[in-house]
Chain A
C-alpha cells in the first residue's frame, strides 16, 4: 500500500458526460501528479501540483482540468467525455517538486461508452 488513495476505483459513463476523480496523497507529501495510462498512448503525464499551485503541465486536453485543495487532496475533472478518454488514471504524490520518487495510487479505471 503506497499511502495514496484514489476514488472511485471504477467509473463507467457515457460520452458527453463529466466526471471527477479524487486523490489523497501520502501524509506529508506536497506534490500531486496525474497520469493517464492507455494501451495506445502508454503512460502519459497530465499535470502536477505543488502545495496548491500548478507546477507542470503535460499534454492535458482543454476538456480536462485539475486542482489541489488546501488539505492537499486533488481532483481531476474530465468533461465532454469521448470514447478515447477511456483509460486508467493514476494519481501519484511526492514529498517535493524535484527528483523525488513518486508513490502511485491504485488508479481509477474510466470507461466511456
Chain B
C-alpha cells in the first residue's frame, strides 16, 4: 500500500531563514506526490506536485520541492521563510491508478518566528 511519512510534528524557523519540511514515501510503481498547506479554520490549499520530469518542482508562494528517488523523499523547501508561512503542511501520494485518491501524511506544523 502507498504511504507517506512526515517525520517532524513541528518545524521552527526564523523569518528570512531557509525552511525544509520533510516527507518520505513508500509506493509501488511511479510516485505521484503532492504538497498541501492548511491555515487555521481553512481548507487545504494545493502548493505543488511531482508527476514526472525535473526533480525540482516549483509551486505557489515561492515554495519548491525536491524529488529524490534513491532516498524516496519529497521535501518541501523555501529559500526565505515568512511569518505568514506559519501553517500546517501535508505531504500526500496518489493511491492507485485511474483515481485521484490521496493518502496524506500526518502533517507538519511550521512555525516561523519574527
Q: A interface vs B, CB < 8 Å? A: 2, 4, 31, 33, 42-45, 48, 55-56, 58, 90, 92, 94, 96-107
Contact = CB atoms under 8 A, between A and B. Distances in A.
User: Taking each of B32, B43, B101, B107, which has the highest tally of chain A beta carbons within 10 Å of its own beta carbon?
Assistant: B43
Interface of B: 32, 34, 36, 42-46, 49, 51, 90, 94-107
Given A33-B101, A99-B94, A42 B106 contact: yes
Given A42-B107, A97-B98, 13 more contacts: A2-B43, A2-B45, A33-B101, A56-B96, A56-B99, A90-B43, A90-B44, A96-B100, A98-B94, A99-B49, A99-B51, A100-B100, A102-B102
Nearest to A41: B106
B39 to A, nearest CB: 11
